[in-house]
Amino acid sequence: MTEIINSQADMTVVGTAADPLVARDLIKVTNPDVLTLDVEMPRMDGLEFLEKLMRLRPMPVVMVSSLTERGSEIALRALELGAIDFVTKPRLGVRDGLLNYTELIAGKIRTAAGARLLPSRHATARAGQGAVAEAPQESLLRSPLLSTEKLIIIGASTGGTEAIREVLQPLPPDSPAVMIAQHMPAGFTRSFAQRLDGLSRINVKEAEHGERVLPGHAYIAPGGFHLSLARSGANYVAHLDQEPPVNRHRPSIDVLFDSAAKHAGKNAIGIILTGMGKDGAEGLLRMKRAGAHTLAQDEASCVVFGMPREAIALGAVDEVSPLSEVSRRVLAHLRTFGERANRV
């Protein structure tokens, strides 16, 4: 890691520590811009240290996690505690494997350095401010004639795991189907889906190729696969493929948004959340031109405002919303849509 970081013109390692207790003292002396933090360390594990750090001296953290089922669960817990992002550590040949990921690691550190630190769900719960978004009023849930044709399509990247949770949790059990492209490596999306499923009133799962897309369900693109919307007769179905990355990503948000523009049109609601880069911006514009209602997360609530900013600049966004209001605005739009259909 030191070799990778010091090879970059715009970053320097100011200290290394074999355990969190040494790191604690080094942080006070060196005042770093970003901390890279391994999970498995002597004297105190990385999650325990991260929790203390984000409570006492918040700073951008990039976790280094093993690519295992346990590693994926720990990485997701780290994001919940306030880490900006994570990189996966190869199981064998760690040094050579990490050198192959120089560009990825450096990019994540740069993103973390410029990211907005937001209160973690754990921290706000401890402060008594509530751990989750407030559920919408019941009047928003009794939308007449909510068609099974309606879909909610979401794209997110850095900071997106917690943002997606906040969008999904208030949705009612009979919500329109949700399809999600979150930039995440293979091996982590299944744990991500399982975690969200336990926190939400809708069913959340990793998408499977060819399965029907049903109301009351959310489908997350598996890491390493593009997820797109397709039709099979009168039904929506999920399509997975391993075509080349788009905007350097697989899953790509643009791929999902483009398919929604093609197959759902005005029946879709497109949402672009926090993330670095421009993936999803052009796809959201195509959704809007196809008649979809589109939303972007606002700058103040984004960990990284890159993707929403790009979409707004293109004129692809109908509404800019704080993260805490996204679900409410989606349900309000659905209710309005249903009332109009009822009058017709």
Q: In what order do the strands lie in the sheet with 293-297?
A: 203-206, 217-220, 177-182, 151-156, 268-272, 293-297, 319-321
Residues 6+ apart with CB under 8 A from 76: 161, 188, 191, 192, 195
- Catalytic member of 85, 254, 258, 279: 279
- 45 in active site: no
**Extended strands (E) in 280-329:** 293-297, 319-321
3-class secondary structure, 62: strand
- Rounded to whole angstroms, the Cα distance separating 192 from 119 reads 20
80 closest CA partner among 96, 67, 95, 63: 63
Instruction: Encode burial over 253-284: b for 16+ CB neighbours within 10 A, e otherwise.
Output: bbbbbbbbbebbeebbbbbbbbbbbbbbbbbb
- Rounded to whole angstroms, the Cα distance separating 290 from 228 reads 16
- Rounded to whole angstroms, the Cα distance separating 84 from 328 reads 26
- Catalytic member of 85, 175, 183, 258: 183
Residues 6+ apart with CB under 8 A from 121: 80, 131, 132, 162, 165
- Rounded to whole angstroms, the Cα distance separating 276 from 234 reads 36
- 217 in active site: no
- 183 in active site: yes
- Catalytic member of 157, 191, 200, 327: 157
Active site residues per annotation: 157, 183, 279
